[in-house]
Amino acid sequence: MNEKLKEKVQESLSSVLPITVIVLIISITLVPLEIGTLALFLTGAVLLIIGMGFFQLGAEVAMTPLGQGVGSKLMTSHHILLIALVCFLMGAIITISEPDLQVLADQVAAIPNEVLIWTVAVGVGIFTTVAVLRILFHIPLPTMLTICYIALFLLSFFTPSDFVAVAFDSGGVTTGPMTVPFIMALGVGLSAARSDRDGANDSFGLIALCSVGPIMMVLLLGIFYHPTEAVYETVTITPISTTYDVVRQFTSAIPQYAEEVLVSILPVAGVFLLFQLFTRYYRKRQVLRMSVGFLYTYIGLVLFLTGVNVGFAPVGSLLGEGLAQGSLKWSLIPLGVIIGYYIVRAEPAVQVLNEQVEELTGGTISHKMMNAALSIGVACAVAVAMLRVITGISIYLVLIPGYAISLILSRLVPTVFVGIAYDSGGVASGPMTSTFLLPLAIGACTALGGNVVTDAFGIVALVALAPLLAIQIMGLLYVRHLKAHPQPSEPISDDTVIELEEE
């Protein structure tokens, strides 16, 4: 376990380090920061690295086996209502513990945290059920996605504009390091019990549909919920004179987040206990291992949220305000390109996805090609997001064409690529997007006097959109390769090759 923890901390270091270096360079060249503020940021970065390491290991050890166990048991049941109820409860309960969602909720001043979190949790629960029923009833994923996204955009026209960007952001943040391992494992557990040729392909796509639920529910919230107008003010950081002041800032915040995390993670632990009591699915050694995993998840989540809210996000907001001054504001676009490029390359989950696609295509689409495509896609997405902050152009001008193209592509590429593409949207919009890019955009928008909820929010949604286009374009290239070379080496499987050649 210790070696595994070391590996996860190293992965977290590779994720946080590029952003830390970029911030240091900006603080030296463009936006000077006080030494105390910089000390807060660096301390927050350290807590973020350690917290993410603990959290990712805990989620892997506890969430993945729990998801596979629930999925395989559900397939033995012939009661559709029971399956639907269990999937709804599991999707909702897991989402409540999602750290990226809690970070987003802290940024949305117009809606109380509890209201937003529970709204999103219900959405994930509903669409977890929809995603599982799709697998059971063999409904094509492209058809489901087309119907869902047409419904989303139609619904968004009846929703106040202040809610639209937040709604699409919520779809990206909910598929984070807590939710993804469980839902992916649930899909593997469900599809593994099927013997048909589409079983493996159907293990992809759950994340895609679970991302739809939060968007739809927040759009509905915007129609029926009327919050008081929120005012986003300039971020102020408590003056730091000594290293003791830095330590005191973090230690005073830990009890609050420890209590919040305990409340959010207890329901998940309760589900695990009830599942084990009723099914006796896990052996004693695995129960002990998963219990340690829950402890690691708790410790990691407390450190993660403390580091983000005390040191990391406030400095991101301050940098955004500094960069928005005068003609310097246009530097946000090239900086967005650089940050976007390195953020997605550093995400550990993205590297796992890239290896999966390389194996799936027998090396035709290499790990290196995937890295390049995703990095360029996300870099462009962040640049467009920063352009929106500066100019205030509507998010519809980006989302509607982007999703229209991605839905058209979903009809032209093999189904398995559609599932991977839409799943990867949630993977790409990882912790760094909500903890640094969003505060950076909010800080810049505040300094420019723009509308934060319409101009700054939406950055997570754009980052989540980029892989949809990048990976499906890769899918088109793969289909062309198959047509040019009818006998590729090391194909996915005979059935899958037949299916790809037919398409």
CA pair distance 303, 410, nearest whole angstrom: 40
Residues 322, 23: contact at Cβ < 8 Å?
Answer: no
Percent above pLDDT 70 for the chain: 87
Query: How many helices, marked H, and strands, marked E, lie in the chain?
Result: 22, 0
* Other CB atoms within 10 Å distance of the CB of residue 224: 7
The whole model's pTM is what? 0.81
**C-alpha distance from residue 331 to each of 31, 314, 323, 337, 383 (Å):** 12, 20, 7, 10, 10
CA pair distance 308, 328, nearest whole angstrom: 26
Residue for token pair 């006796």: 280
Question: What per-residue confidence (pLDDT) applies to 196?
Answer: 55
pLDDT of 209 over the 50 cut: yes
pLDDT of 444 over the 80 cut: yes
Question: What per-residue confidence (pLDDT) applies to 234?
Answer: 59
Residues 115, 225: contact at Cβ < 8 Å?
Answer: yes
CA pair distance 37, 373, nearest whole angstrom: 36
pLDDT of 311 over the 70 cut: yes
DSSP state of 174: S
From the list 271, 343, 351, 301, the residue with the least C-alpha distance to 98 is 301
Identify the burial level of 102 via C-beta atoms within 10 angstroms of its C-beta, where 0-12 means exposed, 13-18 middle and 19 or more buried.
Answer: buried
From the list 290, 248, 343, 268, the residue with the least C-alpha distance to 43 is 248
Q: What is the pLDDT of residues 66-75, one digit of tens each?
A: 887 887 777 7
Q: What is the pLDDT of residues 34-50, one digit of tens each?
A: 888 899 999 999 998 99
- Indicate the number of domains in the chain: 1
Please tell me whether residue 362 adopts helix, strand or coil conformation. Answer: coil
Residues 362, 355: contact at Cβ < 8 Å?
Answer: no
- HSE-CB at 88 with a 13 A cutoff on CA atoms is 10
Residues 211, 231: contact at Cβ < 8 Å?
Answer: no
CA 98 to chain centre: 9
User: pLDDT-based confidence at 496, cuts 50/70/90?
Assistant: very low
**b/e per residue 125-163 (b: at least 16 CB within 10 A):** bbbbbbbbebbeeeeebbebbbebbeebbebbeebeebb
Q: Which residues have a Cβ under 8 Å from the Cβ of 492 and sit 6 or more positions away?
A: 360, 361, 362, 416
Average per-residue pLDDT in the chain?
A: 82
Residue for token pair 């919040």: 260
Q: State mean pLDDT over 65-84.
A: 80
**In the chain, what are the helix, strand and coil shares in percent, each to the nearest 5?**
80, 0, 20
Percent above pLDDT 90 for the chain: 25
157 φ/ψ angles, rounded to the nearest 5 degrees: -70, -20
Q: Out of 201-210, 231-240, 453-462, which region has the weakest mean confidence (pLDDT)?
A: 231-240
Between the two ends of the chain, the Cα-to-Cα distance in Å is 45
Q: Which residues have a Cβ under 8 Å from the Cβ of 247 and sit 6 or more positions away?
A: none
Q: State mean pLDDT over 152-159.
A: 92
Question: What per-residue confidence (pLDDT) applies to 50?
Answer: 92
Q: Which residues have a Cβ under 8 Å from the Cβ of 55 and sit 6 or more positions away?
A: 99, 177, 178, 296, 297, 300, 301, 304
- Signed CA dihedral, 325, 329, 332, 335: sign only: negative
Angle at 369 between CA 366 and CA 375, to 5 degrees: 140
User: pLDDT-based confidence at 488, cuts 50/70/90?
Assistant: very low
User: pLDDT-based confidence at 125, cuts 50/70/90?
Assistant: very high
From the list 106, 149, 118, the residue with the least C-alpha distance to 218 is 118
CA pair distance 468, 423, nearest whole angstrom: 8
Please tell me whether residue 138 adopts helix, strand or coil conformation. Answer: coil
Question: What per-residue confidence (pLDDT) applies to 254?
Answer: 93
pLDDT of 495 over the 60 cut: no
CA pair distance 399, 424, nearest whole angstrom: 17
Question: What per-residue confidence (pLDDT) applies to 489?
Answer: 45
Structural domain including 124 reads 2-502
Residues 116, 108: contact at Cβ < 8 Å?
Answer: yes
User: pLDDT-based confidence at 228, cuts 50/70/90?
Assistant: low
* Other CB atoms within 10 Å distance of the CB of residue 194: 16
Question: What per-residue confidence (pLDDT) applies to 47?
Answer: 92
Angle at 43 between CA 350 and CA 302, to 5 degrees: 65
Q: Out of 347-361, 363-377, 417-431, which region has the weakest mean confidence (pLDDT)?
A: 347-361
CA pair distance 155, 135, nearest whole angstrom: 26
Question: What per-residue confidence (pLDDT) applies to 497?
Answer: 41
